[in-house]
Amino acid sequence: MEDQEELRLKLAEYRSEHKALDDVIERALTSEQPVNLFHIQQLKKKKLWLKDMIRKIESSLIDDIIA
């Protein structure tokens, strides 16, 4: 398994990217500009993937602490 410090760095990176995607999606959906729903769907899928990775890393870090 990866070093805990590497996991923490990835976790921070994924959280940051997740937040950025959330902001982009929110701005796109509240904008008066036409929305490309396919693009929004892709962004949401990536956001979901990031959320899954965040949970996986958090779980791994917790397991390492308990063990």
Helices (H) and strands (E) in the chain, counts: 2, 0
Q: How far apart are CA 36 and CA 29, in angstroms?
A: 10
Alpha-carbon distance 64 to 11, whole Å? 15
pLDDT in tens, 5-64: 999 999 999 999 999 999 999 999 999 999 999 999 999 999 999 999 999 999 988 876
How far apart CA 14 and CA 24 sit, in angstroms, is: 15
CB 54 within 8 A of CB 15: yes
How is 41-65 classified by DSSP, letter by letter? HHHHHHHHHHHHHHHHHHHHHHHHH
Q: What is the pTM for the complete model shown? A: 0.84
